[in-house]
């Protein structure tokens, strides 16, 4: 139940970190979309491990195989299944964690839920499953590129205490990727890198904030009351591992603002309605208003640290836990394409719903 997401453009996720692989079924993709495997692989490359010395050294090619749904280079309207084999799984690295509950991991909670748990690298709770989401998000982008000029971007805005100042314009993915940390401003990126190197050397980890946005989204998307655009975007973001906060538009900063300061005054020119400011983040009453949709996602620090920490095992006996294996000191750079993917899925699903809402 819980491994399926979406109303009309639906994904079903399966697979574990150290099992045979990771998969995704995409159901509801319009027929006739030209298949662009290079595009999908490109987004997966942005998420894959081992990109540089600041990410985990697990080596995975993450080239998806098409198991169904594509025929003669086009989508057919039937379920598209992508399968990403696990190549560099090292389950033995996790044998020592078999009976142990690591701090701030899903070990204890999954065990309480299922009374059984694939402990190898987090099993199903691993962020490795998001590889399938990134692939699905890239397929959603193929749909968006076929029918619209919608553009989706995300980048690292904050890493630990270091914050990116406001940008003048939306950077391209190339610019974003020119930073190892996917922070599209050279000076800030450098500071973040230095900070992260220090954190890493110390065996520690750090959190941060990703800024995401979608431009070109038409007004009228979102389904009141419970499937507001903002509500489903929030849910999608909180599906991502380690996410602890989400805000749209002015977000938490709006708490100490006055209505007279942050009301987005409307105007009209050249046949188009628009707002003079965009404190709302492109969403009013839960529905898109045609302005830029922008939001922030807060990540907690990676729970696995290369330091000793006290813990307990299944019997409740005290143990000392120390991270081994291959871990990221900070998930944010690799989370950028995940956030883009979930955004693309939300937008695509709402676009399809909107067609139905316009009558038959």
311 binds a copy of itself (CB under 8 A): yes
CA distance 176 to 180: 9
Stretch that binds a copy of itself, among 41-49, 164-172, 179-187, 223-231 (CB under 8 A): 223-231
Contact (CB, 8 A) for 227 and 306? no
Nearest to 307 by CA among 322, 296, 285, 288: 322
CA distance 60 to 48: 7
Residue from the set 51, 99, 239, 326 that interacts with a copy of itself by CB under 8 A: 239
Residue from the set 292, 298, 322, 325 that interacts with a copy of itself by CB under 8 A: 298
DSSP labels for 269-287? ETTEEEES--TTTTEETTE
CB of 174 to a copy of itself, least distance (A): 26
230 binds a copy of itself (CB under 8 A): yes
232 binds a copy of itself (CB under 8 A): yes
Contact (CB, 8 A) for 81 and 24? yes
Interacting positions 264-283 with a copy of itself (CB under 8 A): 264-268, 271, 273, 275, 279-281, 283
69 binds a copy of itself (CB under 8 A): yes
Q: Which two tokens stand for residue 356?
A: 């139905």
Residue from the set 38, 116, 169, 320 that interacts with a copy of itself by CB under 8 A: 116
Q: Which two tokens stand for residue 110?
A: 């999954």
Residue from the set 117, 128, 182, 334 that interacts with a copy of itself by CB under 8 A: 117
Residue from the set 45, 50, 51, 77 that interacts with a copy of itself by CB under 8 A: 77
Residue 46 class from Cβ within 10 Å (0-12 exposed, 13-18 middle, 19+ buried)? buried
Stretch that binds a copy of itself, among 34-42, 170-178, 179-187, 348-356 (CB under 8 A): 348-356
């Amino acid at each position: 139940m819980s491994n399926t997401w979406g109303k009309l453009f639906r994904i079903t996720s399966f697979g574990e970190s150290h099992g045979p692989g990771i998969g995704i079924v995409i159901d509801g993709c319009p027929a006739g979309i030209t298949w662009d495997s290079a595009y999908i692989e490109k987004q997966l490359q942005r998420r894959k491990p081992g990109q540089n010395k600041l990410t985990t050294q697990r080596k995975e090619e993450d080239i998806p195989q098409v198991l169904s749904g594509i025929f003669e280079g086009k989508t057919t309207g039937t379920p598209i299944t992508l399968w990403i084999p696990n190549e560099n799984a090292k389950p033995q690295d996790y044998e020592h964690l078999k009976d142990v509950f690591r701090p701030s991991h899903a070990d204890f909670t999954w065990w309480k839920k299922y009374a059984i748990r694939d402990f190898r690298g987090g099993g199903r709770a691993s962020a490795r499953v998001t590889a399938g989401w990134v692939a699905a998000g890239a397929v959603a982008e193929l749909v968006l590129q076929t029918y619209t000029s919608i553009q989706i971007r995300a980048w690292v805005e904050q890493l630990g205490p270091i914050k990116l100042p406001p940008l003048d314009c939306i950077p391209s993915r190339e610019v974003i990727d020119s930073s190892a940390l996917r922070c599209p401003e050279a000076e800030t990126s450098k500071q973040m890198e230095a900070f992260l190197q220090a954190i890493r050397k110390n065996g520690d980890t750090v959190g941060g904030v990703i800024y995401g946005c979608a431009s070109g989204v038409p007004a009228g998307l979102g389904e009141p009351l419970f499937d507001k655009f903002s509500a489903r975007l929030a849910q999608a973001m909180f599906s991502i591992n380690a996410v602890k906060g989400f805000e749209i538009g002015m977000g938490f900063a709006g708490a100490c603002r006055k209505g007279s300061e942050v009301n987005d005054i409307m105007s009209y020119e050249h046949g188009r309605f628009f707002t003079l400011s965009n404190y709302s983040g492109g969403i009013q009453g839960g529905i898109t208003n045609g302005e830029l949709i922008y939001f922030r996602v807060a990540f907690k620090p990676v729970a696995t640290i290369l330091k000793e920490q006290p813990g307990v095992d299944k019997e409740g006996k005290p143990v000392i836990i120390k991270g081994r294996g291959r871990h990221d000191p900070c998930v944010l750079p690799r989370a950028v394409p995940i956030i883009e993917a979930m955004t693309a899925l939300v937008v695509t699903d709402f676009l399809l719903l909107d067609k139905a809402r316009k009558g038959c």
